[in-house]
Amino acid sequence: MKVKICGIMSEEAALSASDSGADFLGFVFAESKRKVSPEKAASIIQQLPEHVKTVGVFVNESYENIVRIAETANLDIIQLHGDETQDFCKRLPYPVIKAFSIKEQDNLNELANYDCDYFLVDSPGEKYRGGSGIPFDWSLLENLKIPRDKIILAGGLDLENVKKAISVVRPAVVDVSSGVETNGIKDVKKIQEFLAAAKLEEREHIGSIHITKY
């Protein structure tokens, strides 16, 4: 199970996450309490190991600004949380994660209109785009026609529910931000515990398959 820690704002959080097994780190460049400058992101990213992929989060940003910020920060992947079209996604010279807020089954129909590297399914935002930190109804994903290996599950994940989320949804990636924070700041201990739980659930699932098979 791959894990994305989003809303990275400090070197300490980034290095702790990468050392503990994070596969993706997200940096927010849209309006948010976790917004960072491209220069700050760049200073953090240059310290990361190559295997950790860096993701820039944007909301209805211009093509030119996305490319400029991605080059400045040295991003690997672009994550779009706004009303970006399929054509806009295809134009970007980077792998794309397109985020969708899931309120009801009808929201899932939009996914079929896009051809992206990953689809991030999240709970609807409140003040800002990008989620409310509250889980949505995972049963809405039962009949999802998009391959599971392209699904990133977000929305209210934390140490207490991540194993159940993985078991129910079987996404390719789980994405957490507020669930590993204390008083709005990334908590190194919570990051480590979340990563351990997510990786353990994957190992236990693989083990159960082998036992069943033989």
Whether 6 is catalytic is yes
CA angle 156, 157, 162 (to 5 degrees): 150
| Residues in CB range of 103: below 8 A, 6 or more apart | 124, 136
Name residue 135's amino acid. Answer: P
Residues in the chain: 214
Residue 80 has φ and ψ, to the nearest 5°, of -110, 120
Whether 116 is catalytic is no
CB atoms near residue 111 (< 10 Å): 18
Class of residue 110 by CB neighbours under 10 A (exposed 0-12, middle 13-18, buried 19+)? middle
Catalytic residue among 23, 122, 158, 175: 122
Where in the sequence numbering do the catalytic residues fall? 6, 122
